[in-house]
Amino acid sequence: MRLSLPRIIPALKNGAILFRGKPLTINKSLHNHSTVVLGGKPHIFSKAHLYCSPTFTQVKGLHQNHYNMSSTQGKPITCTAAVAYAAGKPLTVEQIVVDPPKAHEVRIKIEYTAVCHTDAYTLSGIDPEGAFPSILGHEGSGIVESVGEGVTNVKVGDHVIALYTAECGKCKFCKSGKTNLCGSVRATQGKGVMPDGTSRFHNQKGEPLLHFMGCSTFSQYTVVADVSVVAVDPKAPLDSISLLGCGVTTGYGAAIKTANVQKGDTVAVFGAGTVGLSVVQGAKSRGASKIIVVDINNDKKQWSFDFGATDFVNPKEDLKEGETIVQKLIEMTDGGLEYTFDCTGNVKVMRDALEACHKGWGESIIIGVAGAGEEISTRPFQLVTGRVWKGSAFGGIKGRSEMGGLIEDYQNGKLKVDEFITHRRPFTEINDAFEDLHHGDCLRTVLDLAK
């Protein structure tokens, strides 16, 4: 069993874990969370996780009780959150109040959240659905603190990932077998409220704060609909798997599910952020014969090769005089690609990605998110001659039924996740994490909500 230190310490204090038949005690706990002294003997733990070997006996019920969550159940919780008060303004880190979950809702203690490009997009003010004041964040993991009436899919103490693409299993969309776009809570989610039309967050002045993408992971506690949360293997480290809440799943799923890349296919990926590089690793896992990454930032070249790209093209530097990126890609692939992916959100790039597809069968998948008023265009002849334009949300992955498989892929070393965490910060440095997004050396910044 693997537990992060902030959670194991209360358990140890309660004598809830036995070591060689005796309760473990902490003699000393260092600020450096990678070292604690247990029973007089120093133990060093990597990545702030304690791995309980067979000599460490887990006492029955520990999982539910060690966190002492029952004291907060049914009550409002005051905690730290980062509030987006207005578009284009830094987030305000302050104390807010999180109400208990109502029926079919789940209150989660968020342990880790990463910052996705989409959070920056909404904060910038160009998201047509962006609403303020709100609590952003949608790529996070945590532990269930309490559940409302009628919740059966998760229980207190479960390790969970919040899902911005819900899965109810009952709606027209879920039952269609054609899409992961569940319809059960999407309308209220887009308005920044819970399914009953109200918010569970308010600030110290009593003003309601809106939810975001059904997740709001930029808060130490959040409330989500039960259809918007999945329990995961508690052995999977929560910091790493927070990235499965969006970026990694989106790119990997777009390659292996939406496009369903096959052995020998040629692939071009525009934009080598976490999403694009996860497309690359999905295409590589399927045995694509050529994986060309197109990015205007040379810092992304080495990343691209590390994740499985065979070629890297910087359109600002690698084109001959008068040559377009479409011509270059067509020339490199004897007529165009089987699959292209836009992972930039730039509508001009989306057009290039479509037109670089092979006549007759090439498919282009739009993943990037474009601002209000932006539209895509191409000559209809591009489609008449067999190219296909598609989109992909959350990689086409059904969060509740398919997340377990992705976690297994990660645990078996098939899916890279840790490699995307280039920066770690305490939650209080969240505005710096938004700044990180603009630097070429940053894929994902993971924020530790306990700090």
Ligand X SMILES: NC(=O)c1ccc[n+]([C@@H]2O[C@H](COP(=O)([O-])OP(=O)(O)OC[C@H]3O[C@@H](n4cnc5c(N)ncnc54)[C@H](O)[C@@H]3O)[C@@H](O)[C@H]2O)c1
Task: Give catalytic status of residue 117 as yes or no.
Answer: yes
SS3 for 295-348, per residue?
CCCCCHHHHHHHHCCCEEECCCCCCCCCCCHHHHHHHHCCCCECEEEECCCCHH
369 belongs to the binding site for ligand AHE (CB under 6 A): yes
186 belongs to the binding site for ligand AHE (CB under 6 A): yes
Which pair of tokens denotes residue 312? Answer: 């890297």
Task: Give catalytic status of residue 174 as yes or no.
Answer: yes
156 belongs to the binding site for ligand AHE (CB under 6 A): no
Q: Say if residues 273 and 247 touch (Cβ distance below 8 Å).
A: yes
Give CA–CA dist 262/104, Å, rounded.
40
Among the listed residues 167, 402, 444, 445, the single catalytic one is 444
Q: Which does 129 bind (CB under 5 to 8 A by kind): ligand AHE, ligand X, none?
A: ligand AHE
DSSP 8-state symbol, 357: B
Q: Which does 186 bind (CB under 5 to 8 A by kind): ligand X, ligand AHE, none?
A: ligand AHE
Give CA–CA dist 104/106, Å, rounded.
7
DSSP 8-state symbol, 403: H
Strand partners, 12: none
Of 165 and 340, CB closest to ligand AHE: 165
Among the listed residues 7, 63, 107, 117, the single catalytic one is 117
Task: Give catalytic status of residue 442 as yes or no.
Answer: no
Taking the complex as a whole, the smallest distance from the CB of residue 164 to ligand X amounts, in Å, to 8
Binding flags for ligand AHE, 65-104, as an x/- string (CB under 6 A): ----------------------------------------
Q: Which residue is associated with the tokens 């918007």?
A: 228
Nearest to 164 by CA among 134, 119, 199: 119
Of 246 and 293, CB closest to ligand AHE: 246
Q: Which does 273 bind (CB under 5 to 8 A by kind): ligand AHE, ligand X, none?
A: ligand X
128 belongs to the binding site for ligand AHE (CB under 6 A): yes
Give CA–CA dist 282/251, Å, rounded.
7
Q: What share of the chain is helix, strand, coil (3-state, %, to 5)?
A: 30, 25, 45
Among the listed residues 2, 43, 186, 425, the single catalytic one is 186
Q: Quote the longest CA-to-CA distance of the chain.
A: 75
276 belongs to the binding site for ligand X (CB under 6 A): yes
Task: Give catalytic status of residue 357 as yes or no.
Answer: no
Taking the complex as a whole, the smallest distance from the CB of residue 410 to ligand AHE amounts, in Å, to 19
247 belongs to the binding site for ligand X (CB under 6 A): yes
Nearest to 415 by CA among 222, 241, 232, 194: 241
Give CA–CA dist 35/78, Å, rounded.
30
The H or E element containing residue 82 is strand 77-83
Give CA–CA dist 142/239, Å, rounded.
9
The stretch near ligand AHE (CB under 6 A) out of 37-45, 126-134, 259-267, 425-433 is 126-134
Of 77 and 246, CB closest to ligand X: 246
The stretch near ligand X (CB under 6 A) out of 3-11, 22-30, 206-214, 292-300 is 292-300
Task: Give catalytic status of residue 43 as yes or no.
Answer: no
394 belongs to the binding site for ligand AHE (CB under 6 A): yes
Task: Give catalytic status of residue 324 as yes or no.
Answer: no
Taking the complex as a whole, the smallest distance from the CB of residue 302 to ligand X amounts, in Å, to 12
Q: Say if residues 362 and 340 touch (Cβ distance below 8 Å).
A: yes
Interface positions, 355-394, toward ligand X (CB under 6 A): 367-369, 392-394
**C-alpha separations of 362 from 3, 297, 330, 335 in Å:** 46, 26, 11, 10
The stretch near ligand AHE (CB under 6 A) out of 42-50, 121-129, 276-284, 351-359 is 121-129
Among the listed residues 72, 165, 182, 351, the single catalytic one is 182
Write down how long the chain is.
Answer: 451
Among the listed residues 2, 43, 52, 168, the single catalytic one is 168
116 belongs to the binding site for ligand X (CB under 6 A): yes
Q: Say if residues 185 and 164 touch (Cβ distance below 8 Å).
A: no
How many other CB atoms are found less than 10 A from the CB of residue 210?
19
Interacting residues with ligand X (CB under 6 A): 116-118, 121, 246-247, 250, 270-276, 294-297, 300, 343-346, 349, 367-369, 392-394, 437
Interacting residues with ligand AHE (CB under 6 A): 116, 118, 127-129, 181, 186, 246, 369, 393-394
Q: Just list the catalytic residues.
A: 116-118, 138-139, 168, 171, 174, 182, 186, 246, 444
